Amino acid sequence: MLARSKNLTNTQTVLVVDDDPVVYDFIRVMLEKQAIALYFAENGPAALEMAAELLPDVILLDVMLPGMDGFEICRRLRDNPILAEVPVVMITALDDRDSRLMGLQSGADDFLTKPVEQLELLARVQAILRLNRYRKLMEERAHFAEALETKNRQLRELTQHLIEVQETERHFIAAELHDDMGQMLTGLKLMLEMAVTQSGDEARQTLENARNIISELSIRVRNLSLDLRPAMLDDLGLFAALDWLFERFSGQTHIRVKHNFSFMDERRFPKVIETAAFRIIQESLTNAARYAGVDELVVDIQVKDSLEIKICDRGKGFAVSRLEAGAHQSAGISGMRERVSWLGGEFAVVSNPGQGTTVSANFRLDKGAAGG
């Protein structure tokens, strides 16, 4: 049986467990001016079911009940992790020491002796509700502190990852400048010093070699700049930048890139999304060239309420579980996943050995972000 007080807004909940409806009416009259929602259960099974559903702030529990008595109900409440912390006040006509000891052993928090006095009932209930409210506030505070610490830890990890990415890029640039371009500049310097001491055809040949080195050096500087960030991504947008990327990728790897969009499409998206989409496609193409063993890739882009990207190959594939075990794809895929996550998008990798790989990313677009 379920009964409620009239005032149910902004209330705390009290479950009354008694086999006599008159008791409920008596308690309701005594508490009717309080901001309390009252519920009534006539027996143990009903009380346990209602307690699990309501998660009451206090349970007023009669000891003398048919079938399952109040001590057993209290023990079962304490055995339920969800209800173990709910305060239980036992109402009993038994006033002997052994009965109270049994109540404490079963998990009761307090006792009221029948006949219950109104002032005592109000005082006990209000005190327990205040303590319960304080306990919940402390739990919420602890939960908030834990969530805040989790967010701070994630921020520290992301910051550390960003630093590592920056250092990796710097290491790559430093190696490129020192190893290849540095050697070319050293050779160029020696050639020019030689040309000063030479004459005629010998000097012309040395200067021609120097010019070839300068041309090669210019190409490498331009490629390095484009690898860092192609200017057309900012100037002309994602599709134009992909046109350059696919042409360059195919020229270097001899792998065809099939796509379903027009490079003449002038639609623009938020800069951070264009950059993320470009990098994910770029990284996916690089991974496929290194590991998939294919001569063709498919890049699919759909624009609706979101920018949906899929990069598919029918190559060697791999066990996705290896990503969690430090496989060679994990670093690049982990970086792509984090990049998408930072923008509130969704990222997935589907792959199986011998069945190819599909990398997908979905970026939500604000209304009007993909204008035509």
Closest-CA residue to 316 (of 294, 296, 292, 351): 292
The secondary structure element, H or E, covering residue 239 is helix 238-253
The reported pLDDT for the residue numbered 35 is 73
Q: What percent of the chain has pLDDT over 70?
A: 86
Q: Does 135 or 186 have the greater pLDDT score?
A: 186
Is a pLDDT exceeding 80 seen at residue 224?
no
Mean pLDDT of the chain: 82
43-80 pLDDT, tens digit each: 989 999 999 998 898 899 888 888 899 899 999 999 99
The reported pLDDT for the residue numbered 329 is 43
Query: Tokens 């990890």 — which residue?
Result: 157
CA 311 from chain centre, in angstroms, equals 23
Q: How confident is the model at residue 235 (pLDDT cuts 50, 70, 90)?
A: confident
For residue 302 the two structure tokens come to 């759909």
269-327 pLDDT, tens digit each: 998 899 899 989 998 998 999 899 999 999 999 998 899 999 999 999 888 776 655 44
Report how far residue 321's alpha carbon sits from residue 159's, in angstroms, rounded to the nearest whole number: 26
Closest-CA residue to 54 (of 82, 21, 22): 82
- Over residues 215-227, the mean pLDDT reads 73
Distance, first Cα to last Cα, the chain: 62
- Over residues 119-142, the mean pLDDT reads 78
Q: How confident is the model at residue 132 (pLDDT cuts 50, 70, 90)?
A: confident
Closest-CA residue to 18 (of 38, 41, 46, 2): 41
pTM of the predicted structure, to 2 decimals: 0.49
Please list the residues that pair with 312 across neighbouring strands.
298, 358
Q: What percent of the chain has pLDDT over 90?
A: 23
The reported pLDDT for the residue numbered 1 is 46
Report how far residue 266's alpha carbon sits from residue 221's, in angstroms, rounded to the nearest whole number: 28
SS3 161: helix
**CA distance readout (Å), 347 to 31, 67, 180, 257, 370:** 55, 56, 36, 21, 20
